[in-house]
Chains A and B, each alone.
Chain A
Amino acid sequence: MPSSAEYSGQIPAWCPGCGNFGILSAFKEAMAELEIKPHQFTVVSGIGQSGKFPHYVKCNTFNGLHGRTLPVATGIRLANSDMLVIAVAGDGDCYGEGGNHLLHAIRRNSNIKLFVHDNQIYGLTKGQPSPTSVEGMITKNHPFGVFSERLNPLALAIALDCSFVARGFAGDTVHLAHLMKEAILHDGFSLVDILQPCVTFNKINTYEWYRQRVYYLESEYDPENRVSSFQRALEWGERIPLGLIYRNHRPILEKRNPVIGEKPLIQQPFDATAIEETMKEFY
């Protein structure tokens, strides 16, 4: 088994103590344990502190635009369905700017692994509320506090019958690495929402705040019952469940599309000789 150090990229420019470090180390651990080599997977990221993630990992990288991680990931998967594609996004990135793409990526069920760094705040732009910020959170640009209801990404995903829905915590990298591995091994669009403290701008949802509330789903929990999974997804506040909350076995997009069901698009060279025949259709 390779060591997780073999997956190290550039030196992170995150704040000391940032929850992103836990996510990074869990991810490298998961890849080492799965023995997936750096050239065998591609990380697509957007903009925000999470967007820098692939630079800190040894991997193929498309660090694109804010919110547009999933369309790029979908394009890569459709072109090369042999490639493991991991989409990394933040809560503002994926649930705000890219919200529409999330809805439709879940519907499509392309075999993408989406790891959301959910710190309930905007870090890169220095402390504005995100879609998952708690109601009432006061920030510089929200002197009266946040009026909007907090977005519940897990309930949203289950409502859309997302193939794999899990929640991890950056403060428990062993559990998180396990969840990441499960997501990667699952055949279907997989969302892992990762609770991640922002030590600089989010003074509410701290390591301590999470530690007091999170609990692990009991071993007899059935993640394949959509209704009870939805109930679990609604839990927030005093008790916050961690683990695989929902899973189904819908066929993936890449298998449903007969053009790429057998062989990735990239391995199907263009046959220019057919054009002569096609031209006849215009007579």
Chain B
Amino acid sequence: MGERVVVGMSGGVDSALAAALLVERGYDVLGVYMRNWTADLPGFTCPWATDLADAERVAVGLGIDLEVWDYEAEYKREVVDHLVDCYQHGITPNPDVICNEKIKFGLFAERALSRGADYIATGHYARTVPGTQVVPGTEVVPGTNRVPGTDRVPGTSGTTGRLLRAADEHKDQTYFLWRVPGTVLSRTLFPIGDIPDKGTVREMARERGIEVAGKKDSTGICFIGDIGIRQFLLSQLDSQPGDIIDHETGERIGRHDGAFLYTVGQRRGLGIGGGPVRYVVRTDTKAGIVYVTSDRECPLLWMRELHLRDTHWIAGHAPRPGHYEIRTRHTRALVGAMVEHGQGATAHLVLDRREPAIAPGQSVVVYDGLECLGGGILERC
């Protein structure tokens, strides 16, 4: 038997093919279905039983064991409660980023490695390459030149892995992986990260008789499925009706059920009938006011300078100040930016060109070529 891998299997085609490729490559593979928390609301049918059944069918077809690891309580605490708390304060987090950090590349990885795994694997569209051996106790002066492959991280042991974007730039998921520590990435395999596109993934799955080859991609926030964030938040938080105010004129133009339901740039669900298209430019959850504009050129709808907090650098320390590329949303193109780190875990970015504004709390991820260096969380303006 080859090296041991614990692969997270969600019941979808990506992780199914990942598991199949690992088996083909001669690894000794254990499949694990991670059970996370799901909302129990009227009209919401939880897909997890179906997903588990799909994962089981794949595992049986591959002749590997499948275990269910229950992270319901941890997921609720780390991801869901955090999300609700953020929204309540007018901050819009990326739950997938937190889930990857805390659950998949946190608790799951820990348990897999303690069970004797050499590696963990997932069906993420991303790639890893080995970093350097870290020598415990060696000092690195913060802010020294980052030379890829030669960095040393003080106070940790083991090897840091480096994170690269997937071969499929369109599907690349490194935007959601920026908080994963390099020490975990060094023990991580992304078997489908080299595959050029999703069509090929499906084709390869079909060739291998994987039954979920045609299963549709999951969308939205996994634990609330189709019900939508609005209905979910209203089930968790008391509604706090307030005014919708025109940012330019100060005029009251409508009412809302809670400022926490709105996010910067949003233009749907404002409930303002007729008139021009309006965009949310700012929410004040304390005063319960949602500010909107009908002017696409309103400066609050654009950003050029960004302040990040809670930065995380995969190599273990901040990159040398300089010009990099950044991504401000999973689906957005990369944009050039000067990156400079500040006091503590903060950074200051100046973009080459303006970008549509994103909400405070969203992830901003920094790249050097193909390599994802890490990132930070957008500070409130």
Q: Do A and B bind each other?
A: no
Instruction: Using CB atoms and an 8 Å cutoff, list the residues of chain A in contact with chain B.
Output: none
Residues of B within 8 A of A (CB): none
